[in-house]
């Protein structure tokens, strides 16, 4: 069974979100379940720092050996930082999806959107149903 940390929020599209204690910033990546489904990740298209993101709009792509998938913004905001380590070593997402394999950090523009994200239990149920 895929790892689903309790302290994170999740999207239906298999992104995870860690919201800062003050609720102003979020770190985003793809879940352990998603990286397992994708297989070996060979490339990640990252947004530019400073880019504006809208909730549930594509902000980049993730490419595995057999497929390419869009990455969707779980929250609206500005990209504060991208994980440049993924440029040279995209497999960090496979090796460490919740730590070294994070994708972007954003400044949250609409804090109320966080209420639309799934809890760990809700996400665990979703993937158990074969999502």
Q: What single DSSP character describes residue 117?
A: S
Please report the pLDDT score of residue 72 as a whole number.
Answer: 97
Please report the pLDDT score of residue 73 as a whole number.
Answer: 97
Q: For strands 52-53 and 41-45, give the pairing.
A: unpaired
pLDDT digits (tens, 9 = 90+) for 65-119: 989 999 999 999 999 999 999 999 999 999 999 999 999 999 999 999 999 999 9
pLDDT digits (tens, 9 = 90+) for 4-59: 999 999 999 999 999 999 999 999 999 999 999 999 999 999 999 999 999 999 99
Q: Is the pTM of this model over 0.75?
A: yes
Please report the pLDDT score of residue 131 as a whole number.
Answer: 59
> Do residues 117 and 56 touch, judged by C-beta distance below 8 A?
no
Length of the chain: 131
CATH of domain 9-111: 2.40.50.100
Any residues with CB less than 8 A from the CB of 125 and at least 6 apart, and which?
none
Q: 107: burial class by Cβ within 10 Å (0-12, 13-18, 19+)?
A: middle
The ranges assigned to domains in the chain are 9-111
């Amino acid at each position: 069974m895929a790892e689903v940390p309790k302290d994170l929020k999740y999207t239906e599209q298999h992104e995870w979100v860690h919201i800062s204690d003050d609720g102003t910033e979020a770190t985003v990546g793809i879940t352990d379940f998603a990286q397992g489904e994708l297989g070996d990740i060979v490339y990640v298209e990252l947004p530019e720092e400073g880019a504006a993101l809208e909730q549930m709009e594509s902000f980049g792509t993730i490419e595995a050996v057999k497929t390419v998938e869009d990455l969707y913004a779980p929250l609206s905001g500005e990209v504060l930082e991208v994980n440049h380590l993924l440029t040279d070593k995209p497999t960090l997402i496979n090796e460490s999806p919740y730590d070294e394999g994070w994708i972007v950090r954003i400044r949250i523009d609409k804090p109320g959107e966080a209420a639309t994200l799934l809890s760990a239990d809700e996400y665990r149920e979703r993937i158990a149903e074969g999502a």
